[in-house]
Structure 1
Amino acid sequence: MFKSLLQLKNIALANLFCLSGLIVSAQTNLNKKAASELAASELKAQLAAHKPKAETEWTAKKIQYKNFTMKFTTQIFGDKPADGRSLYISLHGGGGTAPAVNDQQWENQKKLYKLKEGVYFVPRAPVDAWNMWHDYPMDELIAEVVKDEIVLDDVNPNKIYVMGYSAGGDGVFQLAPRLADYWGAAAMMAGHPGDAQILNLKNLPFDAFVGGKDAAYHRNELVAQWGARLDSLQKVYPGSFEHRLHVYPDLPHWMNRKDTIAVPWLASHKRNPIPKDVIWIQDDILRDQFYWLGTDIASAKQGQKVRVKIDGNKIDIINNQDDILYIFLNDNMLNMDKKVAVSINGKKVFKGKVSRSPDIIRQTAAVRLDKDLIFSGRLTVKNGRVTNS
């Protein structure tokens, strides 16, 4: 018997709702292939969306962030490799002095190093202060530089390096560990370490240069001590804290370009975007993410320490001083089709599958425009408990 039009309409609506439910379910519980495809399409969309802003900044040769302006120059060396260009961010000397002095140091930095391949990016510090390279808002400005260069010059996020001389070296001492997840390697020339968080360098190769007669601010002594500390850490954490130390006994602050050997050394390294053992100590400039770890910036405090290791599908939270700790995951880190086990100080607190979320994919693709730091799942650690959220 033929069904009435009303019956047919009701059946069609029921089927539509059922199909919609399947689509929603598929979107919120992605399989590996769907997650990979969404990550690729979302990254493509974010790159296109960022391009007009990047082009405006590169045309003006300056980046504006709130009331801060950072001028810059770029020079491209060599042919672009198949895996994308390298980027070298080179920080000039000077500091808390007259603007004309810092301008002169900026001009000098433009000619200081030559590359075999890559983009040589030389910014002019946005302020004239002793801490001009590591105070607010340098993190935001560097993040913008990196995104612009990924979009405009096809820079490979795993081949980005930071280097600097004198006050620029001060900046490297601070920015290398604080932003360790940005760099393939770092080179510090004639700077002062101050209160830099050395443990954050666990997965970042670090090259240090100083003249043996560079006694101002005890640079010669402190840089040598920094090298000795890295020697000790390398013994405690085998395979980590790769570094070199160059102390030229007869040279003062100016090292007669002996430090130029840093350039090929930097080029020989690539960033590991998802190291399996991460130490993160918050600096005085707070961050909400470091490699695959995150936190609520509102509750973050200077000096808070986190250490997390991944071995297969096991996650070991060795140390966590954050009120809220996020652990971001993707299929390059572990098998998300299987259960993930989490322990805190050796005590098992979670075992289950971590769902792949479109929201996490979209959020992490937008933050860095970095294909290797797009995550599809997240665990939340709070009050000794771990949840899949």
Structure 2
Amino acid sequence: MHPALLLVAFALDGPAAPSRPLSEPEAAAAVRDAWDDLVAECRAGSLKERGAKAIQAGGETLPFLERTFGKKPKGGHALFISLHGGGGGPAAMNDGQWRNQIRLYEPQEGVVVAPRAPGNTWDLWHQAHIDPLLDRLILSYLVDGTVDPNRVYLLGYSAGGDGVFQLAPRTADRYAAASMMAGHPNETQPDGLRNLPFSIWMGGDDAAYDRNKIAGQWKEQLAALHEADPDGYEHKVVIYPNTGHWMNGRDRAALPWMARFDRDPWPKRIVWLQDDVTQPRFYWLEVPADQAVKGTRIVAAVDGQRIDLTVPADVVKEVTLYLSDALVNLDRPVVVAVNGAVVHEGVVPRTRAAVDASLASRPDPAAVASAALTLPASPPTEPEPAE
């Protein structure tokens, strides 16, 4: 099980959840009840971690600093997760970068959190343990209603910017927008940013590791992706001339730019490219963990009641669709085609079992499905006729 979910797994134990079909109002009530049950079970432990300013997951610890700005809106504060720079060097250097990071950004409204990376290597924010730690950090702000789940933002400077380049495409479904300051993408690609507004802030003279040149290349890549898919790949790239690695605070413009966006947890089109740290779930799609392989690319598109999936069937053998009335009308038949062949046609019932499975997969109150459908990635072959 994903380490971030260990806190909430026991909330879904007990008698088997009923699988009878639910109406849309019954399903909405089931989602609320399931979330309330989870909160009742895990709230005390989660708030204890937050009070200690140290999140635990997978044997790693994520200390963090926090500042709150403005009056809390009815739906909850915005949450800005701000990743520090530094990287390979002594702990004292990274501690200094961490303490500086919490002072860099002051939104008009929101909670700013600066986590301290568990290690002191160059790839502070690249490693696999970062994903569940940040998931659990976000959850700690959701269980008491402090934060709006659709207004969580990711940003980072220098090595923290490297982390944003890595984390944003592979965990885009957690965030409403992301901003990268003065970092380097390494091997990562922008495909997964289809539904995540993404901004780049760079000094024009920041030539170490060709950061400035690569920022210009990403500007071209993002523009090309947006031109080919005008409803996706919202982006902003600012390269300040005659400016080095430190941008003298001009990158603070990223926060009001990000705050314009709310997350859509049920996008009609998904582009999912697995990076070197893989994910079993992305938005409303899930694959078995052993089939989440680096380099595999799945595209999903919803048109009315039809869902088309393009799946590398040589690697991914099955796909689970977590469905909601926010995505399709679950009172009507749903058609699903995989690689052009229809593999399902019919009503997908709303059930409490689907609600619980979705919540166990991703403890996010805005992304809970009320129906689930697991399908083969390849349609069954027709038997050869007998001679």
In the superposition, the TM-score normalised over structure 1's length comes to 0.90
Report the 3-state secondary structure (helix = DSSP H, G, I; strand = E; otherwise coil) of the residue aligned with 2:68. strand
Q: Judge conservation of contact 1:150–1:369 (CA < 8 Å) in 2.
A: no
The aligned amino acid for 1:156 is D
- Counterpart in 2 of 1:352? 346
Displacement of 1:261 after TM fit? 0.4
- Counterpart in 2 of 1:131? 123
Displacement of 1:154 after TM fit? 2.3
CA distance in 2, matches of 1:173, 1:149: 24
Q: Judge conservation of contact 1:143–1:368 (CA < 8 Å) in 2.
A: no
- Counterpart in 2 of 1:202? 194
Greater Rg over alpha carbons, structure = 1
CA distance in 2, matches of 1:365, 1:77: 30
- Counterpart in 1 of 2:26? 34
Which deviates further from its counterpart, 241-250 or 51-60? 51-60
Residue identity over aligned pairs, in percent, reads 39
Match of 2:153 among 161, 172, 185: 161
Q: Judge conservation of contact 2:19–2:353 (CA < 8 Å) in 1.
A: no
- Counterpart in 2 of 1:143? 135
- Counterpart in 2 of 1:12? none
Q: Deviations over 1:288-339 (max 9, x none)?
A: 1100000000222111110010111111113444222111101111111111
The aligned amino acid for 1:212 is G
Match of 2:162 among 164, 170, 186: 170
Report the 3-state secondary structure (helix = DSSP H, G, I; strand = E; otherwise coil) of the residue aligned with 2:166. helix
1:182 aligned to 2:178? no
Distance 1:376 1:253, change over 3 A: same
Report the 3-state secondary structure (helix = DSSP H, G, I; strand = E; otherwise coil) of the residue aligned with 1:373. coil
Q: Judge conservation of contact 1:147–1:369 (CA < 8 Å) in 2.
A: yes
1:385 aligned to 2:374? no
CA distance in 2, matches of 1:84, 1:385: 44
1:299 aligned to 2:291? yes
Displacement of 1:381 after TM fit? 2.4
The aligned amino acid for 2:266 is I
Q: Deviations over 1:110-165 (max 9, x none)?
A: 11010111110011111001111120200100110110011235211110000000
CA distance in 2, matches of 1:114, 1:307: 37
1:328 aligned to 2:359? no
Q: Judge conservation of contact 1:354–1:377 (CA < 8 Å) in 2.
A: yes
Matches within 5 A, 1:96-111: 96-111=88-103
CA distance in 2, matches of 1:111, 1:310: 43
- List alignment gaps of at least 5 residues for structure 1: 1-23
CA distance in 1, matches of 2:308, 2:346: 15
- List alignment gaps of at least 5 residues for structure 2: 1-15, 381-387
- Counterpart in 2 of 1:74? 66
Report the 3-state secondary structure (helix = DSSP H, G, I; strand = E; otherwise coil) of the residue aligned with 1:283. coil
Displacement of 1:383 after TM fit? 4.6
In the superposition, the TM-score normalised over structure 2's length comes to 0.90
CA distance in 2, matches of 1:330, 1:312: 13
CA distance in 1, matches of 2:270, 2:34: 27
Name whichever structure is richer in helix by fraction. Answer: 1
The aligned amino acid for 2:163 is G
- Counterpart in 2 of 1:368? 362
- Counterpart in 2 of 1:13? none
CA distance in 1, matches of 2:172, 2:178: 9
Match of 2:245 among 239, 248, 253: 253
Q: Judge conservation of contact 2:317–2:378 (CA < 8 Å) in 1.
A: no
Q: Deviations over 1:205-255 (max 9, x none)?
A: 001011111111110111110111001111111121000111112000001
Report the 3-state secondary structure (helix = DSSP H, G, I; strand = E; otherwise coil) of the residue aligned with 2:211. helix
Q: Judge conservation of contact 1:288–1:294 (CA < 8 Å) in 2.
A: yes
- Counterpart in 2 of 1:122? 114
- Counterpart in 1 of 2:47? 55
The number of residue pairs the alignment matches comes to: 363
The aligned amino acid for 1:93 is G
CA distance in 1, matches of 2:59, 2:374: 35
The aligned amino acid for 2:278 is L
Report the 3-state secondary structure (helix = DSSP H, G, I; strand = E; otherwise coil) of the residue aligned with 2:233. coil
Q: Deviations over 1:57-80 (max 9, x none)?
A: 122111122331111011111111
